[in-house]
Amino acid sequence: MRIVDVENLWKVYNRRKEALRGISFHVESGEIFALLGPNGAGKTTTVKILSCISKPTSGKVEVMGYSVPDQCSKVRERVGVVPQEFQGFSDLTVEENIKYFVKLYRGEESQVEELMKTLDLLEYRKTRFRNLSGGYKRRVAIACSLAGDPKLLFMDEPTVGLDPRSRRDVWNLITEVKRRGISVLLTTHYLDEAQKLSDRIGIIFNGKIVRLSTPGELMEEFRKQSLEEAYLALMESLGDV
């Protein structure tokens, strides 16, 4: 089943800037799909449209069978979003931040405890958000995104700015999320991350999708040992040097 379905999606900012020029792709239920591409390619724009923050200019966008933007209220209730810059309530504790989101989604009080346990946050439950390290702030962001029991999670650059250890921790959390049957669409600049985590990848370049494949297929196509090398070879073939 297609949990995300995008066909011929265009986004034109201010009637001039063509950020997306007719992209099509889909995400299967249960998979981790990574959107890759250089700065300004259109990744964040795509995630913003799918998560109902920004409106498409034209094209078909369906998220969990609901049409975007017409049925965005349904979409918002059902998807989790981990934005690039999650701004928790800085003066509230970890527990209070998570509780806020659980209440927002009308979840059970017991979910707060469960989420803190899953995200390994129990030790920091009384710590104010602003006093947490970057890695733990990201954990809180992920906990809050899971508060509505979503079947689909959008993550924009989930490990940007984290140290190697914290990145691994977030990778493990994303794998755990998948194990629980939640589909994930993420954007990343880290090709090792995409290689490790994703079932399929979509590469955006200048507002167009230039490849839809698996990390393995792209590495085979360019006869490279890593996704990063294969990606760089693809970019070179497109004249992005």
Ligand X SMILES: Nc1ncnc2c1ncn2[C@@H]1O[C@H](COP(=O)(O)OP(=O)(O)OP(=O)(O)O)[C@@H](O)[C@H]1O
SS3 for the chain is CEEEEEEEEEEEECCCEEEEEEEEEEEECCCEEEEECCCCCCHHHHHHHHCCCCCCCEEEEEECCEECCCCHHHHHHHEEEECCCCCCCCCCEHHHHHHHHHHHCCCCCHHHHHHHHHCCCHHHCCCEHHHCCHHHHHHHHHHHHCCCCCCEEEEECCCCCCCHHHHHHHHHHHHHHHHCCCEEEEECCCHHHHHHHCCEEEEEECCEEEEEECHHHHHHHCCCCCHHHHHHHHHHHCCCC
Q: How far apart are CA 167 and CA 15, in angstroms?
A: 38
Between 136 and 205, name the residue whose CB sits nearer to ligand X. Answer: 205
Between 13 and 89, name the residue whose CB sits nearer to ligand X. Answer: 13
Stretch near ligand X under the rule CB under 6 A, chosen from 40-48, 56-64, 167-175, 208-216: 40-48
Least distance (Å) from ligand X to the CB of residue 5? Answer: 20
Based on the shown chain and the rule CB under 6 A, indicate whether residue 80 belongs to the binding site for ligand X: no
From candidates 25, 36, 37, 227, binder to ligand X by CB under 6 A: 37
Based on the shown chain and the rule CB under 6 A, indicate whether residue 185 belongs to the binding site for ligand X: no
Between 19 and 146, name the residue whose CB sits nearer to ligand X. Answer: 19
Between 99 and 211, name the residue whose CB sits nearer to ligand X. Answer: 211
Least distance (Å) from ligand X to the CB of residue 16? Answer: 8
From candidates 3, 6, 34, 41, binder to ligand X by CB under 6 A: 41
Between 10 and 105, name the residue whose CB sits nearer to ligand X. Answer: 10
Based on the shown chain and the rule CB under 6 A, indicate whether residue 13 belongs to the binding site for ligand X: yes
Based on the shown chain and the rule CB under 6 A, indicate whether residue 17 belongs to the binding site for ligand X: yes
From candidates 14, 87, 110, 225, binder to ligand X by CB under 6 A: 14
Q: How far apart are CA 50 and CA 150, in angstroms?
A: 14
Based on the shown chain and the rule CB under 6 A, indicate whether residue 19 belongs to the binding site for ligand X: yes
From candidates 23, 27, 42, 64, binder to ligand X by CB under 6 A: 42
Q: Enumerate binding residues for ligand X (CB under 6 A).
A: 13-14, 17, 19, 37, 39-45
